[in-house]
Amino acid sequence: MEEELWKDHCVLLNKDEENELEICGYKTQGWQRVLCIAGYIFSCGALLLLFYWKPEWDVWANCIRCSLEEADVVLLRTTDEFQRYTRKKVTWIDLSTLALPVGSNSDDPLVADKDSVINRAVMKPQLKMRCIQVQKIRYIWDFSVKEFKKVGSLEDSNTCHSIHYKFGAGLTREEQKIRQLVCGPNAIEVEIHPIWKLLFKEILNPFYVFQAFTLILWLIQGYTEYSVAIAILSIVSVGLTVYDLRQQSTKLHDLVEEHNKVQVTVCMKSEGCKELESCYLVPRDMFLLDGKKLALPCDAVLMDGSCIVNEGMLTGESIPVTKTPLPLMESPMPWKTHSIEDYRRHVLFCGTEVIQTKPTGRGPARAVVLQTGFNTAKGDLVRSILYPKPVNFKLYRDAFKFIVGLSVIGVFGLIYTVCVFTSHKMPVAEVVARALLLLTVAVPPAILAALTTGTVYAQRRLKKKKIFCISPQRINICGQINLVCFDKTGTLTEDGLDLWGVIPSEGGRFQKIHKFPSSTPLPWGPVCGAMASCHSLVVLDKKIQGDPLDLKMFEGTHWETDDSSTAQDGADALNSCIVRPGPKASSAPVEGIAILHQFPFSSGLQRMSVVSQKIGEEQYDLYMKGAPEIVSSFCRQETVPANFLKELKTYTSQGFRVIALAHKVLNLGEDVDVSNIEREEAESGLAFLGLLVMENCLKQETKPVLQELAAACIRSVMVTGDNLQTAITVARNAGMIHKGSKVILVEASEPEGSAPASIAWRLAEDSKANTAAPREVCANTEEKITLEGETCNYHFVMNGKSYQVIIKHFYNLLPKILVNATVFARMSPGQKSSLIEEFQKLNYCVGMCGDGANDCGALKMAHAGISLSEQEASVASPFTSQIHNIQCVPELIREGRAALVGSFAVVKYLTLYGLIQFVGTALLFWQLQIFGNRQYLMQDVVITLLVCLTMSLTEAYPKLAPYRPPGQLISPPLLLSIILNVCFTIIMQTCGFLLVKQQPWYVALASQRHCSPGNQTVSPTSPGGNGTSSGAQSTVLSYEDTTLWPLSSINCIIVAFVFSKGKPFRKPVYTNYVFSVLLALQLAICLFLFFTDIDAVYSGMQFLCTPVIWRVCILLMLLVTFFVSFFTEDVVLQNKHLWLLIKAWFGYKSNSQYRKWQRMLQRDPNWPPVNTKDFAAKSMDEIYINPTYEYSAED
């Protein structure tokens, strides 16, 4: 019973999706609510503030647990490791306000689509719905399954047939109104928050609340000047933050606002077509694409016609993409999985631009609204900016532990203060005030804020280098990257391909190669016809645009597109895309070729086809181009040369990109609609035409960057959709695989009949000469690209098919392969994402660099995804580089390391500053004294604040070190650094405190601030006299205070300098001119205040005059502290070799999974296997199916 109740109480929202949440139902209880309100009043709002920070406590205190069906409040919790809570109120949508037709209250469905969640959510006869809104997405309560379901999208369960027949005629006015009320407006509205709301939200931050509490304490103590200064700084800080947030929301609002009010032509059932503002669109609406350029206001499924769109906003690539209509077929499968073709080819995404449309004989191109508002592709991008995914990084968790640790020290200080002041019979109010004062001194509230300073400066530096970031917290993570996956084409190699040659095939034999460039044009024939027509090029603004490969191939024929056939904005823009022989082309017996229909390229299919017709002839031709292995499988075997694989390998092993061409005469009747031809039927029984060989040169920056990463012990892996042999050659040319290394091909096969799945390990032919080479570690570190500590000289390579089999049947072997795998070829987008995830499971910190088109999933999955794109922000990845080469990778790692080290330095400094003040204040408390107002002001504002603001300005060191900076605050070097420096501080301040009492001129209370002419003595105060003008001064004026203030203040400057470590992750401290000059000025001011003999200075700073010799002694103590601290930090704690020796001495081994596997494999004499074959055990077939791959395979 309890289990059943829990099942009704808590369910998963968006199950198995990226934004999965646990949702639990609660009902508000009146008496609990009354008690809470009483608590708010008696706690002066403190309880309310606590509930604001902890929404789950608010719900638990005010409500009782109940089923979701009865709930008026829901508590949402993320299912990731952060488990963040959100409270949402359940609201009602009242449909009775609409003028609905008679019979709406009956059992008839409310909307025509019987499967729609709207019909299952409406409560009759009241015509109401329960709903919640989470991160801009609306969910309504589905009574049939007792769950909250997302609205604003077309149900995925619809088949192609049902979409055409259910939605092809549009909606009635009544249904449109119902959907508008239920789904909300089709608008991506980013609210520009009023300043008062931003201000209120900011000051309720725990950091500022603690700051306010501290300020009140200081004011009670009479530290008015200091409190006012800190208050002004806090107000300025809050003001700048609010201004920045306001600017960001304004910029984002302006970015999305233009798509919220687009005029579209909507087709209404029984009312015809009419103009409508896009904000009124709802899922299932039918609208026309009339040939004008249109910024799409929603996601839509193309029903009729085809169009060309620019998807730069989504993928980062401004290459025109052809969209084809959703096929009309009777398949019972959901429309997204109706065929092997990528469903995205039928979807027009919000925010992308329709450039051209091609109508059909039935009229203009039409599309059905698929998703609206924040459910769309653009809405997803905006939501990822508004609600960034939290980053799993130890730094932020460690910072919290740090604050807890300092709080414990503060509590000890509090107990110490209570004991000291109580023993002296001090008033209770003063005991409490002083005790809380020492508690606040120990915990600098700015620690968490300090962690972001390095990130902010790094983000600015990256922006200057054309690297943009929509997730700044990931910059620190970049400092920990130790493996980078690269896409090949357009990333490691040039975007553009150079046409090298074409090898025609005739009668099952390869003919003589025709090289490019050539003095003689390519002769007319099926190969020339294929190259001239089998592409997705379009003419935009009198310029041919499209995929670089298609462009080079077409240019090689010297044919031209017929300008008259491609009107820029007309409704028949693509109706007759015609190509004709140009003046430089070889003579052809045809006037031209009309490209009538496209089966577009998709990375999943690895091929494309076109249906064409020679002008003046009735015959239809189908031309195909794509991956040679794929294209040959669609050809009649007698047309494929016997030496096909050998010839293919000849060119791929030299690093050429090879494309196969094929042709088929289509037997179609007269007046046939070619757009309705089934792809599977058309693409069969083809004749093999030959191979197109293209040269894909490495970018000139590729090899130096990979060498730089190798020298920094950062591993490089290639993940590409290209041919395996081509990828291996490019990896060799780029330096990923060196001459002294073996290349082992891993080939896995699915089970066949009774034979189980198998995996074969084969030495690549060009590696066979190395089989006799010893397997010991290479003496020359430049001969291999490995991570620090790796001892292998072999590389595994495989294709996507083998990877899929290994995931499914040999998962126990996967870690062994991954720690030494370098090339993954023919990988689908889903497999790329899966691979990144598997690397992360081995505790690699993974970077991914790609072009953003087929790599979106992998870029988002990686710890740091970098898209080479012209866009400043794309849905593809957290980082976007406008410089189209991989130089951005080391740049990002450099800045990440600098930001990480800078953040650590600021945290260490703030910790020491707090503890230095804590020690000084505790010593003065021993004799019921305290630092003066202006003394604190100097330490906190003139020194510490300026240090925190400028310490992280030091730029990244230009050379990447061969090791990473520590990734966590709670690490031995960092903790030792803090502990030892605190010890030095305690020793120095205690010595000063005790030694001053031993001086012959020392008196417990003194009345004379100024120095006598000889500067040797001061007048003592008579025991019974009143030595100060007020009691407040008597708690400040003392020789102990005058001694401890320079010791603590200049100590703050010393640790600021010592912690500003330069090499190997940042430039030397003197290159940070602002910081260096400030430190020098601060030191000069402190020395001036301490050594000057001006009465006004002594009076203002509340100092007592001391002999010069004593001041020199204090300076010597500080110098000794500086040299000891500097030596300890620089020579001992930052000595990498010393720590390696200590680790070796204690037998410490890294706990990272990949390190464990490396150590294990080094001890295994039978690894790596070569020229062997293994079979999966029967029981292993069901061992593991990677959910990421299974999900992505549908893509």
Phi-psi map region of 731: left, alpha, beta (phi>0 left; psi -120 to 50 alpha): alpha
What is the SS3 assignment for 781? helix
Contact 559, 693 (CB under 8 A): no
User: Among residues 597, 610, 573, which one has the least CA distance to residue 359?
Assistant: 573
CA distance 298 to 262: 10
* Cβ–Cβ < 8 Å for 319, 547: yes
Exposure string (b/e) for 249-276, b if CB count within 10 Å is 16 or more?
Answer: beebbebbeebbebebebbbbeeeeeeb
Residue that is written with structure tokens 């995804």 in the block: 865
Helix (H, G, I), strand (E, B) or coil at 547: coil
Burial track 841-879 (b if 16+ CB lie within 10 A, e otherwise): ebebbbbbbbbbbbbbbbbbbbbbbbbbbebebbbbbbb
Half-sphere exposure of 495 (CA within 13 A, CB side): 17
User: 1191 φ, ψ to 5°?
Assistant: -70, -45
The position carrying tokens 């029981």 is 1179
Structure tokens at 459: 């983000």
Copy the structure tokens of residue 745.
Answer: 């091909």
Q: In this structure, what is the dihedral angle of CA atoms 872, 874, 879, 882, given to the nearest 10 degrees? A: -40
How far, in Å, CA of 250 to CA of 933, rounded? 42
Phi and psi at residue 788, to the nearest 5°: -55, 125
Coil, strand or helix: which one is 1189?
helix
What are the residues whose beta carbons fall under 8 Å from the beta carbon of 63, sequence distance 6 or more?
Answer: 26, 27, 28, 29, 32, 73
**C-alpha 208: how far from chain center:** 28
Distance in angstroms (rounded) separating the CA atoms of residues 1195 and 1189: 10
Decide: helix, strand or coil at residue 404.
helix
Name the token pair of 268.
Answer: 């209404």
Residue-by-residue DSSP string for 1040-1055: HHHHHHHHHHHHHHHH
365 φ, ψ (degrees, to nearest 5):
-65, 140
Closest CA to 1097 of 935, 910, 905, 936: 935
**SS3 at position 825:** strand
Q: How many residues does the chain have?
A: 1195
CB 361 within 8 A of CB 673: yes
Give dist(CA 1138, CA 211) in Å, integer: 41
Catalytic residue positions, numbered: 487
The alpha carbon torsion through 922, 926, 927, 929 (nearest 10 deg) reads 20
Whether the Cβ atoms of residue 1181 and residue 809 lie closer than 8 Å to each other: yes
Q: Which amino acid is at 638?
A: E
Q: What is the largest CA-CA distance in the chain?
A: 124
Residue with tokens 């470590």: 1061
Distance of alpha carbon 953 from alpha carbon 1072, whole angstroms? 6
Question: Which amino acid is it at 853?
Answer: A
660's enclosing H/E stretch is strand 656-666
Amino acid at 281: L
